[in-house]
Amino acid sequence: GALIIVDDSAFSAQRLRRAELTTNPLEDGSLNDFHVCRVDISHLTLEAVKPFGLGAKDSARCKNFWALGLVLWMFDQPRDATARWIQAKFANNEAVRNANLAALAAGHAYGETAELQHILSQHPIPEAPLESVAYRTITGAEALALGLTAAGELADIELLFCSYPITPASALLHHLTGLGEAGVATFQAEDEIAAICAAIGASYAGKLGVTSSSGPGIALKTEALGLAVAAELPLVVVNSQRAGPSTGMPTKTEQSDLYQAVYGRNADTPVPVLATHSPADCFATAIEAVRIALRHMTPVILLTDGYIANASELWPIPDIDAFQPIANRKPTAAAAAGVWERDADGLARLWAAPGDARHIHRVGGIEKDIETGHISYDPANHQAMTDLRAAKVAKVADHLPEQAIEQGVPGGLAVVAWGSTFGAVYQAVKEALSDGLAVAQIHLRHLNPLPPNLGELLAGFEAVLVPELNNGQLATLLRDRLLVEVVQLNQVSGQPFPVAAVKAAIAEHAPARLAEARPKAAANQEGRRG
């Protein structure tokens, strides 16, 4: 049912052969399920720009603005902003500037004058209700860079970002490299292991160490990540997930690494795991990751993906003063506590840097005595340290906000998701609610530990649907931690979820009316209390 506007001239016999197509999709019936609007965009563009004397190649390039003019007409949007951009972009090339302006106007005029109402009609888009604050567009990678930088300011700690280029994580290194004046230092290492070890060294020296990669690179960092857990050093590890095992499909998106983040280390080596859900959300999630790392003296894994990293959205620029300062466990001038004395709030040791004569200590990957930090092979001590590492991560839940319902109300179907599926799930649930279905959306940022009220919240629903761009990793985690049964909706194609796919699953599993859902939901809650 979607509308496709095609350039008729682009489907010549020669171009079809180049595309290795044996038939013309405009004529073989393969597009019968779509509304196809065939326009000779190339020819109409050349006619519109002929007076400006451009060569054939430059004239053909103007067809993008011709098509944009038609789309602006279709959505009843003004051309002023686009025209100003063209004038600024091509200020030094009068012929190209005027040709593109003419193409934009010609495409718009075509929509006004052509008799296309049976295929192409106007769909006015109202102005978005925006708050009276400053906005900018931002990508996920940019927002992560700014969030990490802001976290360094809030913690009053210098940040050292150590990374090795890998798709789709490289953009974060590029953006942070340009923030040196804001107190950010960057280091491009020779490999993944060197990158994380350099970040660990930075944290040992009293700076905030941050590293990043994608799934294959995170696998290489795993042993060093265990070292950071054993040494109890703050560290932020950003995983920009991509599709497939091994090299896989580096430019395609997938929620591939939740298992890796939660379970993927030797021994019992728990770390907090967070996931961001949109480009703009990356800013606050980065600050949250740093706050947890410093409060609990632990590595933290922050999950994003290629879709979020490269996508952009409108972002209300936040007031940094609205964020609470980030405390840390560095010893004060008057502190007399030993390095291995822990606070009750987060079970974190002191963060004493080398050169502090009052807090001389050793760190490393060999098991240490729980009281002195010296090397220890004592069985009871190893049990105590293993329990301590688990308790530190469990303590994170004490500081988490209660999990909220994004939209909808309890009693019917809960659609529980994480990461970049947010947009598709949000729209699908919104449409299902309009259709009268009993459904609600719950989107998780904190994946290890889970929000403390999540189990009770899910008990208030008749059923739980978990859409994921993997084969059921969050579904497994929910069954493991909360003993809750879920319905899986999985897609592993390297592409984001279509809204229609999520909506179809909701329609299959959601009660038609909320009143039908409430008796079973109440029984679920009663059973949980029992």
Query: Taking CA 206 as the corner, what is the angle to CA 204 and CA 207, rounded to the nearest 5 degrees?
Result: 105
Last residue of a domain, one of 322, 343, 360: 322
Same domain, 141 and 98: no
pLDDT value, residue 447: 99
In a domain, 155, yes or no: yes
User: Is 408 part of a structural domain of the chain?
Assistant: no
The Cα diameter of the chain in Å comes to 87
**Nearest CA to 453 among 400, 523, 403?**
403
Main-chain dihedrals φ then ψ at residue 232, nearest 5 degrees:
55, 60
Query: Which CATH number belongs to the domain containing residue 436 in this structure?
Result: 3.40.50.920
Nearest to 200, CA basis, from 169, 221, 174, 176: 221
Instruction: Count CB-CB contacts under 10 A for residue 181.
Output: 6
Q: Are 100 and 140 within one domain?
A: no
Residue positions counted in the chain: 530
The last residue of one of the domains, among 322, 338, 361, is 322
Can you tell me the distance from the alpha carbon of 373 to that of 307, in angstroms, rounded to the nearest whole number? 43
Has residue 128 been placed in a domain?
A: no
Q: What is the pLDDT of residue 498?
A: 95
Whether residue 318 is contained in a domain is answered as: yes
The three-state secondary structure class of 256 is coil
Residue 127 belongs to a domain: no
From residue 257, how far is each of 166, 225, 461 by CA, in Å?
Answer: 15, 15, 28
Give the range of the structural domain holding residue 211, as residue numbers without chain letter: 136-322
Report whether 251 contacts 167 (CB < 8 A): yes
Quote the pLDDT of residue 526: 57
Same domain, 443 and 516: yes
Cβ(506)–Cβ(432) under 8 Å?
yes
DSSP per residue, 375-391: B---HHHHHHHHHHHHH
**Does 216 lie in the same domain as 312?**
yes
* pLDDT at site 120: 76
Handedness of CA 21, 26, 28, 31 (dihedral sign): positive
Distance from C-alpha of 173 to C-alpha of 26, rounded to nearest angstrom: 44
**Euclidean distance between CA atoms 348 and 449, whole angstroms:** 17
- Whether 336 is in a domain gets the answer no
Three-class HEC string of 344-365: CCCCCCCCCCCCCHHHCCCCCC
Structure tokens at 56: 């054939």
Same domain, 188 and 315: yes
Q: At what angle do helices 80-89 and 94-113 cross, to 10 degrees?
A: 160
Around Cβ 144, how many Cβ atoms within 10 Å?
Answer: 32
- Name the stretches of the chain with pLDDT < 70: 115-118, 333-337, 513-530
Same-domain status, 292 and 439 = no
Q: Cα–Cα distances in Å, from 252 out to 167, 172, 178?
A: 10, 17, 26
Bridge-based pairing of strands 273-275 and 235-241 is unpaired
**Cβ burial, residue 434 (10 Å; 0-12/13-18/19+):** exposed
Q: How far is CA 72 from CA 125, 159, 311, 393, 470, in A?
A: 10, 44, 22, 51, 37
Q: What is the CATH number of the domain that holds 166?
A: 3.40.50.970
Q: How far apart are CA 481 and CA 458, in angstroms?
A: 13
How many folded domains does the chain comprise?
Answer: 3
Residues 99 and 201 in one domain: no
Domain-ending residue, one of 276, 302, 322: 322
Q: Measured between alpha carbons, how far is 30 from 23 in angstroms, rounded to an integer? A: 10
Domain identity same for 146 and 262: yes
498 in the same domain as 455? yes
Cα-trace Rg, the chain: 27
The rounded distance, in Å, linking the Cα atoms of 16 and 23 is: 8
Residue whose tokens read 């067809």: 63
Q: Do 307 and 431 have their domain in common?
A: no
Residues 140 and 109 in one domain: no
What is the rounded end-to-end Cα distance, in angstroms, of the chain?
50
Q: Is residue 344 part of a domain?
A: no
- Location of structure tokens 């009693």: 411
Shared-domain flag, residues 75 and 215 = no
Q: What does the pLDDT read at residue 335?
A: 61
Half-sphere exposure (Cβ direction) of 347: Cα atoms closer than 13 Å: 19
Contact (CB, 8 A) for 303 and 275: yes
